[in-house]
Amino acid sequence: MSQGTILKDTILKNGLAHVMAAHSPLSARLVEEAGFDGIWASGFELSALYGLPDVSLVSMTQHLEMVRAMAEQSSLPIIADIDTGFGNAVNVIHAVKQYERAGAAAVVIEDKTFPKVTSLLADGRQELLRVEEFQGKIRAAIATRSNPNFLVIARTEALIAGLGEKEALDRGAAYEAAGADLIVVHSKQKTPDEVESFVRAWNGKAGIVIIPTAYPEMNEARIKDLGKISVVIYGNHAVRASVTAMKDVFARILKDRGIHNVDKDIVSVVEIFRLQKMDEVKANEKEFLA
């Protein structure tokens, strides 16, 4: 069974898939152990991992290699955040071939111009492609995939760009008409009202995907009440949690002038060995090393 099929079956079975961001094979493994339904291979998180702003500086090769590495270490479906598709429709064709071969379940392509600027940046430049040009990207992705269950997900940034609900709905409908399997609607409002209004007004057959980073009170009960949302993505919480923990531990070590206090509050080296599957290494050494 393909990873895309697994993701589609989860949506059909549960009505809603919970997908957590990851930026490394280790964080992907932790997402799976926590019990999420899928992994969001976040461009924002990978950019942060490299210490770079999320403005199309991370290359397709860098992102693709991380997706491939995560797929090797986790059995969960991976939704690859490929931003604008790394260029025009020709670039999208190449990207879809590569990400499908790498083991992703889906790609998300957004309707911004290249290079993009991260969505939640205050006063960030948010420029959108012409609808027809973005439809071409979606059609190119659909025509390229070898498995019809490899999901092509279109993301409209119309609300992010301040163009209003009607523009977002019109773009969503146009992208569905071009073949998109799901539609991501994104918002930077601090409450869910804007997204809830969009979802209530949505008449398409494609399910909606939301990324409620800016409006965290949008919980599962509230999502299910709307009835049209298929996937919720927790878009950057892995890297934010990592930074929170590292800043705290580093500060405590310097304050205490040693690790004697903090050591009991962090995972043991043995736990890291477990996550690295060192037991398999030991077993293989015992069996195969002469």
pLDDT, tens only, 193-216: 999 999 999 999 999 999 999 999
Other Cβ atoms less than 10 A from the Cβ of 217: the count is 9
Q: What is the mean pLDDT of residues 122-129?
A: 89
**Residues 59 and 159 occupy one common structural domain:** yes
**Residues 193 and 216 occupy one common structural domain:** yes
pLDDT of amino acid 79: 98
**Residues 44 and 77 occupy one common structural domain:** yes
> Which of the residues 37, 54, 83, 181 is marked catalytic?
54
Average pLDDT, the chain: 97
**Residues 125 and 156 occupy one common structural domain:** yes
**Residues 130 and 256 occupy one common structural domain:** no
pLDDT of amino acid 84: 97
Q: Is 54 a catalytic residue?
A: yes
174-199 burial: b if 16+ Cβ within 10 Å, else e: bbbebbbbbbbbbbbeeebebbbebb
120: pLDDT confidence band, cut at 50, 70 and 90? confident
Domain-terminating residue out of 222, 238, 254: 238
**Residues 178 and 225 occupy one common structural domain:** yes
Domain extent at residue 119: 3-238
CATH number assigned to the domain comprising residue 132: 3.20.20.60
pLDDT of amino acid 290: 78
pLDDT of amino acid 96: 98
129: pLDDT confidence band, cut at 50, 70 and 90? very high
**Residues 35 and 77 occupy one common structural domain:** yes
pLDDT of amino acid 204: 97
For the question of whether the overall pTM of this predicted structure is more than 0.85, the answer is yes
pLDDT digit string, tens, across residues 141-158? 999 999 999 999 999 999
pLDDT of amino acid 124: 83
192: pLDDT confidence band, cut at 50, 70 and 90? very high
**Residues 202 and 281 occupy one common structural domain:** no
Specify the number of domains making up the chain: 2
**Residues 151 and 189 occupy one common structural domain:** yes
Q: What is the mean pLDDT of residues 254-280?
A: 98
pLDDT digit string, tens, across residues 38-52? 999 999 999 999 999
**Residues 260 and 211 occupy one common structural domain:** no
122: pLDDT confidence band, cut at 50, 70 and 90? confident
226: pLDDT confidence band, cut at 50, 70 and 90? very high
In this predicted structure, the answer to whether residue 123 has a pLDDT above a threshold of 90 is no
Domain-terminating residue out of 238, 256, 272: 238
